[in-house]
Structure 1
């Protein structure tokens, strides 16, 4: 077991690079910046009361980011949150009076707040993630195995793609076996055609590891994430909640009553890099028009989660790891038949539910051409840019999407 003093020393090791990051928050008001600088460059961080003072800075920054649109929040404010989070973590680990397990779990909450509301520093872009990795070397007492003897029936369905496609008067999406790079580029990327790629990720450890919910609890149970609460994001009662992964699994993954909880479109692998060791970025993502990194998003939830019919601007390889999902796809040329919302925040989302289209309300839908599939574990669905897609989980499901320009 790693000694807490060693943990403190390792965390303190990032102080120099954090100090070099101070010019990144030059726009911050002088008083707040001066206080952060004093804690970084002096021994005052060894004062137990510093936790309270740093929390006051975080509260001040949190108020600032909650004024107006999130996209308009200045980066220097979010970077200040990252720096203040790091300083609070140092003081907490060194001076907490809690038992070791409680102290470590609280430390993860401090880190995750910084990851969720802060942003990377140029000098130390993985600062808080690295701090979390250091803390994970301490043996924290986890819950006993919570889910026992869960059968594969809970993570799979008996639906058949062809049968279901006929029911919806839809065209089954083509399935091809691990195509060559050239074949994929020529026939699907360049032609902007959807396709399911089979037997391309058989080497992923996630295919076996992620079947067991206890794996997530053991690896990342105390980590805080943001989940969606509600049937779909277009509903008026849809909201979000901060919750630990262990709480999310116990409260939502196997529950069939009450509101649906969904870890949707979430950068889980940036927050918890250990999970990224279980997957590999598909080589097909190399066909890019820019040098921007691929966006890797997690989609984790119970049976019945829904993403309404919508489209995205990037190419997408939606990869199914656990459970199954049914998807309806429509070409961009069908947009006029799908009744997109008028509101600018929802103009990429359609009003039609392709499972039960209301033809009296949306008569032009009958002119649309739906494509359909049931995506199974180990399969990747290529969704071209601007293609409409509706997604529903048929079982407990974990998917990973790879988005690129």
Structure 2
């Protein structure tokens, strides 16, 4: 069925096509289709045909060529999507992820060439970034940065028909913080002081004053997210905790998530934060630092678990109750036996079953209420339990 466009956010300007076309190699031969892994023999001819349609015209593909390019994109995405979902994600070959990325790329370009509203092209780019593998020097990220400024700013939709967020048992106030259990606080320590007293001995600490100058501290709110990123597609976790049976993941736009349930692909948000200077004390490069955003309502819980890297958890707005256990207490925390959840404890920290997990009482812990503007240093392999006390946004920096 043919889609019709509206006047707003359309991709029919010659200037836009010229900008988009400049992101691609000049000649057809330059758009290499080398795949990092084996795929079925029928796939490469489809990729070559799509490439030929894209480069067949001197300028912009004609309507018939754009329509054919769209059909090939649908075939490539549908076929590779089955491969992406045929088994465990870690067993999916990179070649099939690249095929999916090419399918998303050709589909997005067909949308722009046809002069349709750009929202679908942006969604295809996001799907390729989330589920595919980088191709052509991460062209999908560069393409979406060119398209997004031309989209209308989204606003939260009316909450009619709003679905409740799945949640576990209601929780009361967090446990009272005892002085001997409190994580120490420190204001803007020097690199040397942090390294010698916290990084090297692997001691948790709450840092204050480090993120006061970040633009996000003044700009970020639910309305702001909808304005700058409402059209972008992101993975959303549904459920109070990932160990619950009803927990699931879903792809939806930021605007849909906000209206129904309440940042690496969204450069406007990434520009509002800074990598803490203390990360330079690690062994890796800045490009090796993983940045994740955690946005959710009060009551959302991250079960007690551990991560394989050092972690700075920066709180932008809202409050979180956090409890930490040393890796030396791992045996008393009863990790799941399955390989998938081996880094997650079976114990409900705030309501433990001491008949089933009697040694849990032997594990010493530290805790804090992480407030806006504070950064918690969580040493590598430290077990941590997190409960959002209200609508909350945090940014984590994983580094080695």
CA distance in 1, matches of 2:37, 2:390: 49
Alignment counterpart, residue 140 of structure 2, candidates 106, 110, 128? 128
Residue pair 2:183, 2:204 contacting (<8 A) in 1 also: yes
Q: In structure 2, the residue corresponding to 1:298 is in which secondary structure?
A: strand
- Corresponding residue of 1:191: 201
Residue in 2 aligned with 1:23? 34
The whole-number CA distance in structure 1 between the counterparts of 2:299 and 2:187 is 28
Indicate the residue corresponding to 1:43 in structure 2.
56
Q: What TM-score does the superposition give when structure 1 sets the normalisation length?
A: 0.85
1:26/1:182 CA distance change after superposition, 3 Å:
closer
Task: Select which of 316, 325, 346 maps to 2:341.
Answer: 346
TM-score, normalising length: structure 2: 0.86
1:360 to 352, 355, 364: 355
d(CA) in 1 for partners of 2:321, 2:368: 6
As a proportion of its length, which structure holds more helix?
1
* Map of 1:156 onto structure 2: none
Runs of at least 4 residues of structure 1 off by over 4 A? Answer: 144-147
Worse-matched range after superposition: 356-365 or 185-194? 356-365
CA contact (8 A) 2:153 2:226 kept: no
Measured in 2, the distance between the counterparts of 1:200 and 1:221 equals 29
Q: Which moved more, 1:46-55 or 1:314-323?
A: 46-55
Instruction: Show the counterpart of 1:76.
Output: 95
Q: How does 1:225-374 map to 2 (within 5 A)?
A: 225-253=234-262, 268-269=263-264, 271-291=265-285, 293-374=288-369
Cα shift at 1:388: 0.5
Structure 1 unpaired stretches of 5+: 148-158, 254-267
Task: State which of 96, 105, 123 in structure 2 corresponds to 1:109.
Answer: 123
Equivalent pairs, count: 368
Match 2:22 to one of 9, 13, 25:
13
RMSD across aligned positions (CA):
2.4
Aligned position for 1:140:
152
Contact 2:207 2:376 survives alignment (8 Å): yes
Query: 5+ unaligned residues in a row in structure 2: which ranges?
Result: 1-8, 160-171
CA apart distance, 1:362: 1.7
Aligned CA distance change for structure 1 residues 380 and 114 (closer, same or farther; 3 Å): same
How far off its partner does 1:180 sit? Answer: 0.2
Deviation at 1:203, TM superposition (A): 0.8
SS at match of 2:71: helix
Residues 144/59 of structure 1: CA separation in 2 closer, same or farther (3 Å cut): closer
